[in-house]
Structure formats: C-alpha cells, structure tokens
C-alpha cells in the first residue's frame, strides 16, 4: 500500500511539473514595453587644486641618492606643514623611485631616483603660496577636480534634470505611439564627471617662483552628468 502511494505521489509531482512548464511556455513576452534613456548635465566650477612637487637626484651609489631625496622631501614637508589645514591644504608624499643606471655593456655605473610631495585642497592661494616657498622641489604637475561636497550637490541637481527628462521623453513617446500614458517598470541611475581632468605639466620656465608670488593657476569648469535608463509599460 505504501509503495503504491509513493508511486502515485511521484506521478502527481511529474504531472504538476509538466503543467508548470507548459504554462511557462505559454506565457507571452511583455507587450508595449519601451526602453529609453535620458540624461541631465550640470556645468560646475572645479574647486579642488592638486599640485605635485617633484625632484630628481643622481649619484654613483643608491644610498647617496636615497639620502638626498629624503632630505629634499623632509625639507618640503616641514615647510608645507606650516600652512596645512584639513580640507584647505592637505600634504602627503607621492611617488618615490630609485633605479640603477646602466652602461652600454649592461653594467651599473650609477643610480637615479625621484620623489614627490603632493599639496591639495580648496584654498588655492594657500596651496600656491606654499608651493612657492618650497625650494627643494619643483612644481611638476597641476590638476583640478571637484570636492566631495561640490560633486554631491552637482549630482543631485543633474539627477533632478535627468529624471524630469526621462519622464518627459516617456510621455512624448507614449503619445507618439498612440498610448495615453505609461507606468514605470524598471530604472537605473548612474552619475559620472564629464571630461576627465588630466594633470598638466608645468612649463620648465614656470617651475621657480618667489616666496611672495603665488604659482599662477586657474581652475576651469567640468560637467557632472547623470544618466537615467530603464523601461516603461505603455498603456
């Protein structure tokens, strides 16, 4: 009796599975679904400055090069920290490299190295004046960007624009296809900064500045873009 009941249960399960597969196969794909994208853009002034100060040394032995680089960086850090202020002027070390120099025969005949100190923050005059007072390193690269606060504010503005553009586009397309409106099915939102900022090398003649004259810099603008994409059900 138990054996018969077990076989009956298996048969019922198999029948149910077959019925489920048949039902799934008979489900029609969604109709009148529209895929679309929209974007919002805000142009904003860059409010973060990054200055990379660098120096190179060359000697017959690695220890001498390393010692010279350390002395140059230590002096630069000591000067920079006098004016350091969180968010306004942050100071940190950058890349440090040390490598051998070879002859044509492949033998080491000396060592060369480089070191960096990075000044960055929102207080442009403080940063540039500090850079001008550092004598052991030269200005190598200058770059601009958006602070976290400015980026968040700009993304919120761009997001509002992007969502409104998405809604207007969906409404216009729905009417264009002969429907009275739409309902939102799914949507994704992502943001990016248009036109990535690339640090630019300073001209050789502009690498030395007097202690009283700030390094000449001028920030530009960048675009913060938010993209909205998704699908709507026309109705």
Structure tokens at 29: 């794909």
Of 156, 154, 147, 150, the closest CA to residue 120 belongs to: 147
Which contacts qualify for 170-179: CB closer than 8 Å, 24 or more apart? 170/34, 170/36, 170/232, 173/34, 173/36, 174/34, 174/232, 174/234, 174/235, 177/32, 177/34, 177/234, 179/32, 179/234, 179/235
Of 185, 154, 189, 184, the closest CA to residue 167 belongs to: 184
Spell out the residues 6+ positions from residue 218 whose beta carbon is closer than 8 angstroms to its own. none
Mean local confidence (pLDDT), 53-75: 96
Residue 186, pLDDT score: 93
Residue 26, pLDDT score: 61
pTM: 0.71
Instruction: Judge whether 122 and 47 are in contact, CB under 8 Å.
Output: yes
For the chain, strand residue ranges (E) read 33-45, 48-59, 90-102, 108-121, 138-145, 182-194, 200-201, 221-234
Domains and CATH numbers, the chain: 29-47+147-206+220-235 (3.30.110), 48-145 (3.30.70.2970)
Distance between CA atoms of residues 223 and 102, nearest Å: 47
User: Is pLDDT of 215 > 50?
Assistant: yes
**What confidence tens digit (pLDDT) does each residue in 42-61 have?**
999 999 999 999 999 999 99
User: Is pLDDT of 201 > 80?
Assistant: no
User: Is pLDDT of 131 > 90?
Assistant: yes
**What confidence tens digit (pLDDT) does each residue in 4-40 have?**
455 555 555 555 555 555 554 566 677 889 999 999 9
Q: Across all residues in the chain, what is the average pLDDT?
A: 84
User: Is pLDDT of 210 > 80?
Assistant: no
């Amino acid at each position: 009796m138990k054996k018969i009941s077990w076989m009956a249960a298996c048969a019922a399960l198999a029948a149910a599975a077959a019925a489920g597969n048949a039902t799934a196969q008979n489900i029609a794909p969604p109709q009148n679904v529209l895929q679309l994208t929209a974007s919002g853009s805000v142009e904003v002034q860059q409010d973060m400055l990054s200055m990379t100060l660098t120096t190179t040394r060359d000697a017959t032995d690695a220890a001498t090069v390393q010692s010279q680089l350390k002395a140059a960086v230590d002096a630069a850090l000591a000067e920079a920290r006098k004016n350091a202020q969180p968010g306004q002027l942050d100071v940190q070390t950058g890349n440090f490299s040390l490598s051998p120099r070879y002859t044509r025969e492949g033998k080491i005949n000396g060592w060369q190295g480089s070191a960096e100190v990075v000044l960055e923050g929102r207080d442009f005059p403080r940063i540039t004046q500090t850079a001008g007072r550092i004598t052991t390193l030269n200005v190598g690269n200058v770059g601009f960007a958006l602070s976290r606060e400015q980026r968040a504010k700009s993304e919120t503005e761009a997001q509002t624009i992007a969502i409104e553009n998405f809604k207007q586009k969906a409404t216009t397309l729905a009417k264009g296809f002969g429907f009275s409106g739409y309902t939102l099915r799914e949507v994704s939102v992502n943001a990016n900064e248009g036109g990535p900022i690339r640090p630019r090398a300073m001209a050789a003649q502009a690498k030395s500045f007097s202690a009283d004259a700030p390094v000449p810099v001028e920030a530009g603008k960048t675009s913060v873009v938010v993209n909205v994409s998704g699908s709507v059900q026309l109705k």
